[in-house]
Chain A
Amino acid sequence: MKIHYILRSILFSFLAFTAFTALMHNANASIETYPFETAQQEKDYNVLINELRCLVCQNQNLADSNAELAQDLRKQVHTMLVTEKKDKDSVVEYMVERYGDFVLYNPPVKSQTLLLWAGPFIFLLLGIWFLMRIVKQSNSIQPTKHENAEHSASKSE
């Protein structure tokens, strides 16, 4: 029983840690500071630089990356939002037109990306199916094993 408690507390602290780092990740700021006219602009800016991928260092978003292209694209996002008064969607459209869906960390659901979106759930279902089969098998095997053990035990007496 004790081991259950230990396992459970390990799992809990792991989940808490993951949630915490995810929050921290969103809160991180880029290097430059830009002036904004409204709170909405600043919010949009922060959402966008976290959502758009830096194409030079492909596993980082614009907020995390210090590559020159990321700096330029951050500037571009700011110019479009503040100077040109464009909305968030048109900035995303502008980036996708030039760099493709790849620039989005949150790709749209299309026929091309269907496997990407459905894949994890397919694997989850497969896993559950396997697990159920294994549990069923071991349930049907165990009693016979037990009987055998008893049998051999009585024999040795």
Chain B
Amino acid sequence: MNKQMIPLAIFSALVIFLAIGLTLDPKEVPSPLIGKPAANFKLQKLYSDEAFSPNELRGEPWILNIWASWCVSCRQEHTLLVDLAKEHPVTIVGLNYKDTPSEAKAWLQELGNPYQVTVQDPNGQAGIDWGVYGVPETFVMDREGIIRYKFTGPLTKKRIKETLLPLLSELKDNKIQVK
């Protein structure tokens, strides 16, 4: 190769790497919790005085959606969750993160309630245990209660169609979990 071409080659390589870097989302931090058992919690339900714990959901895949009425992008994904709950029979648990019951209830009244159960995490302790750092976040658990996927940020039509639905049908078909 011509010697004068070397700087150009280095520059082009740099441009390629930087271009790849631009397509990555720095907010996507790989979760170390994937493949691990979901953290347990015992929190009060939004619509009753009873407590709820994810242990009750053993034996079926389920979704945990972490949301708050003060969270703007939660509003954006919420209609998609409502549609998902209508079209696909899957257990969705809502974790109401650092919110007040009255505001949470008003929000669900206005936008619809896709959750079988909504629990309250007023001080964010369960959030820390689940490694939450940006609401909304959505976790998918298998029959054994192992976390299989985590969506950071709002669900989109594309994410639901290309990632969530295939994963759910795979988890439902897997009667016996291979470890």
Contacts and interface: CB of A to CB of B under 8 A. Distances in A.
Nearest to B132: A69
Nearest to B131: A98
Interface SS of chain A: helix, strand, loop or mixed? Answer: helix
Residue of B27, B29, B130 with most chain A CB atoms under a 10 A cut-off: B29
A72 B33 CA distance: 20
B133 interface: yes
B21 interface: no
Interface string A86-111: 00000000001111111000000000
A96 B128 contact: no
Contact of A55 (B29, B32, B33, B130): B29
A73 interface: yes
B134 A98 contact: no
Interface string B92-130: 000000100000000000000000000000011001111
Contacts of A55: 29, 133-134
B89 interface: no
B32 A96 contact: yes
Interface residues of B, number: 17
Main secondary structure of the interface of B (DSSP, over half): loop
Contact of A98 (B26, B124, B128): B128
Nearest to A99: B131
Contacts of B123: 72
B130 A58 contact: no
Interface string B49-69: 000000000000000000000
A83 interface: no
Given A76-B128, A98-B128, A69 B29 contact: no
Interface in B135-172: none
A91 B26 CA distance: 25
A68 to B, nearest CB: 7
Nearest to A76: B128
Contacts of B134: 55-56
A98 B98 contact: no
B124 A72 contact: yes
B133 A100 contact: no
Contacts of B127: 72
A97 B98 CA distance: 22
Interface of B: 26-27, 29-33, 98, 123-124, 127-131, 133-134
Given A76-B128, A97-B33, A98-B129, 5 more contacts: A55-B29, A97-B32, A99-B32, A100-B30, A102-B30
